[in-house]
Structure 1
Amino acid sequence: MHASWNGAVIASSDDIVKVEGNAYFPAESLVMEHLQPSNHRTTCGWKGEAHYYDVVVNGQVNSNAAWFYPEPKSAAAEIKGRVAFWRGVTVS
């Protein structure tokens, strides 16, 4: 699978974990030049605290378009070290 935005591939991997309809890519599949850490955080009752990245391509910023759980709760252990996308990022 690939994650892309604004004409750039942000992640690419055959090792995908799907949770709640979202494809979680392994961290090593990310193109880090297109990701900048964000201070945004949200909490999921069963997964834990999500941290976010802004996706940046050709000077355009898609704020908080990628998220991950650095310390997921045990029920979501399978997504540790993985990142998912939304807000216009195409995953196919």
Structure 2
Amino acid sequence: MTVRATWNGVVIAESDDTVVVEGNHYFPASAVRADFLRPSQTHTFCPWKGTASYYSIEVDGTENRDAAWYYPAPKEAAAAITDHVAFWRGVTVTED
């Protein structure tokens, strides 16, 4: 099964090897189009995963602020999402 993350008409990530946690597909960083990601200063904390960092997505001059997140140093319970990125805020994730 291939999973794709699409926003503003562009495929941002595509992989047949995502990790699903709490209903979210985490894509390997190597499967994400880094040219559309912009670092963000936003951080949040999850008690069992650790501290998340965010990226904004920019496509054709339009920004989707903090629409991707990742855990740079996840806690041991979430080790499977090391070097993985997930999406929300209007990014469509489909499976086929």
Superposition TM-score, scaled by structure 1 size:
0.99
1:53 has 2:59 as partner: no
Q: Which amino acid aligns with 1:16?
A: T
Superimposed CA distance per residue, residues 24-73 of structure 1 (whole angstroms, 9 cap, x where no aligned partner): 00000011111011010000000000000001101000000000000000
- Distance of 1:45 and 1:5 partners within structure 2: 29
Letter in 2 for 1:64: D
In 1, Cα distance between the equivalents of 2:77 and 2:28? 18
Structure 1: 5+ residue stretches without partners: none
Write out the 4+ residue segments of structure 1 that deviate beyond 4 Å after TM superposition. none
Partner SS, residue 70 of structure 1: coil
TM-score (norm 2): 0.95
The alignment yields a C-alpha RMSD, in angstroms, of 0.4
Asked if 1:75 is matched to 2:77, the reply is yes
Alignment match, 2:91: 89
5 Å-filtered alignment, 1:1-92, equals: 1-92=3-94
Partner AA of 1:8 in structure 2: V
Read off the aligned partner of 1:13 and give its amino acid letter: S
Q: 3-state DSSP class of the match of 2:74?
A: coil
Gaps of 5+ in 2: none
The percent identity for this pair of structures is 58
